[in-house]
């Protein structure tokens, strides 16, 4: 009961809770964090640890409630913003997830995973242009992270920066090897630049990699027939002239208007 012990008792409970977590004694850890908060209700560290315990235990609504309470008092608490954004993403509350993840990325601009998750949340909400800045940073920070490169390429394509899209797709293909999505995005960028024969070769590479990509290509080619009939006719002519063996594979996509 010395003054030092009384003053720091909530901290002791919090530290004991962390020890319990490290020993996989989850129920005891929760009790420790709760004891810390009974002594000091506004103890942010214990609040955060209790929320994270709830998150890891699958109690996402409980975690959100505590995280948002922390953010009411500390709106730029990075770890809380980060975890709260993930929790809101799990509950399909996209706007809330975006608000917290983009703020986390702004608070800590050198945290590559925060940049990636901010971009990913925006991309999933159909806001690829807004996602571009975050993916660009994530791509620079997350060396060897395929998903960051992939998101960057998609956002560049949506922003109609086709030349940079090709550069990033080629980087991905050289770094990670043949993959479906970089080839899809690269093909779209080549078509946008009217580099039709190169796009066809890209599509052929895609078929060789994954025959199931045929449905994607047929859909793309049919859309081209509706929106870019001149390009569509050029595409057909080149396939029939130089790659006739792919006529059957591409099927309905190669019908003339």
What string of DSSP letters covers 67-84?
HHHHHHH-TT-HHHHHHH
Asked whether the predicted pLDDT for residue 217 surpasses 70, the reply is: yes
Question: What was the pLDDT predicted at 240?
Answer: 86
Distance in angstroms (rounded) separating the CA atoms of residues 131 and 138 = 11
Angle between helices 180-192 and 213-227 (to 10 degrees): 20
- Alpha-carbon Rg for the chain, nearest whole angstrom, is 25
Question: What was the pLDDT predicted at 155?
Answer: 97
Look at residues 145, 149, 215, 222 and name the one whose alpha carbon lies nearest to residue 181: 149
Asked whether the predicted pLDDT for residue 257 surpasses 50, the reply is: no
What percent of the chain is predicted at pLDDT more than 90?
A: 67
> SS3 for 8?
helix
Least confident of 87-101, 113-127, 143-157, 199-213: 199-213
Distance in angstroms (rounded) separating the CA atoms of residues 50 and 79 = 13
* Two structure tokens written together for 130: 């807004």
């Amino acid at each position: 009961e010395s003054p030092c012990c009384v003053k720091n008792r909530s901290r002791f409970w919090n530290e004991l809770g962390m020890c319990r977590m490290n020993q996989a004694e989850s129920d005891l850890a929760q009790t420790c964090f709760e004891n810390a908060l009974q002594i000091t209700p506004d103890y942010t560290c214990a609040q955060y640890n209790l929320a994270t315990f709830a998150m890891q235990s699958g109690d996402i609504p409980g975690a959100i409630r505590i995280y948002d309470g922390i953010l009411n008092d500390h709106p730029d608490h990075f770890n809380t913003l980060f975890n709260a954004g993930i929790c809101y993403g799990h509950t399909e509350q996209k706007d809330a997830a975006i608000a917290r993840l983009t703020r986390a990325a702004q608070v800590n601009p050198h945290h590559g995973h925060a940049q990636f998750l901010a971009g990913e949340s925006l991309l999933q909400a159909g806001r690829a242009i807004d996602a571009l800045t975050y993916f660009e940073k994530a791509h620079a920070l997350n060396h060897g992270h395929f998903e960051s490169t992939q998101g960057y390429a998609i956002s560049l394509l949506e922003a109609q920066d086709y030349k940079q899209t090709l550069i990033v797709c080629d980087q991905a293909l050289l770094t990670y090897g043949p993959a479906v999505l970089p080839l899809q995005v690269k093909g779209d960028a080549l078509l946008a630049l009217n580099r039709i024969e190169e796009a066809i070769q890209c599509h052929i590479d895609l078929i060789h990699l994954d025959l199931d990509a045929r449905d994607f290509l047929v859909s793309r080619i049919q859309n081209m027939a509706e929106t870019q009939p001149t390009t569509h006719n050029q595409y057909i002519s080149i396939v029939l002239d130089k790659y006739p063996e792919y006529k059957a594979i591409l099927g309905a996509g190669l019908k003339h208007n």
